[in-house]
Amino acid sequence: MQRGDLTDGTLAELLQTLSTAQVTGALHVRAALAAIRVPNENAETPPGADPLAELEADEAVVYLRNGEVYSARAPGPRPLLGTRLVTEGIITRQALAEALET
């Protein structure tokens, strides 16, 4: 596992570097700390153990496969899609209410 901070760059720059290097693994981001977990074929993992089970509740995780982001999760509550669409001005409250009635 590698650790570092983003004081000398941005998350976007780090993701670009990981993409160029075609990294497979999980990028854990919390406050000013990032840790990259790359599967280690020689590491012993107990059967049924989740290598990411030690995640802290306040960290975001970006999953990469061959340098491409295929999933991500972030802490905190997620607004409902309808609420977000109204907030962003994409649909009206009335349109949301009508859609939810059907």
List, for residues 49-96, the tens digit of each pLDDT value.
544 444 445 788 999 999 999 999 888 777 788 888 999 999 999 999
More confident of the two residues 27 and 9: 27
What confidence score (pLDDT) does residue 3 get? 73
Residue 58 within a domain: yes
What confidence score (pLDDT) does residue 9 get? 78
pLDDT one-digit tens code per residue, 4-17: 776 777 888 999 99
The answer to whether the beta carbons of residues 11 and 33 sit under 8 Å apart is: no
Q: Which residue range forms the structural domain that includes residue 68?
A: 2-76
Please give the tally of structural domains in the chain.
1
Residue 20 within a domain: yes
Helix (H, G, I), strand (E, B) or coil at 16: helix
What confidence score (pLDDT) does residue 34 get? 46
CA distance linking residue 52 with residue 42, whole number of Å: 17
Residue 99 within a domain: no
Residue 81 within a domain: no
Residue 13 within a domain: yes
* Helix (H) or strand (E) segment spanning residue 87: helix 81-87
CA distance linking residue 26 with residue 1, whole number of Å: 10
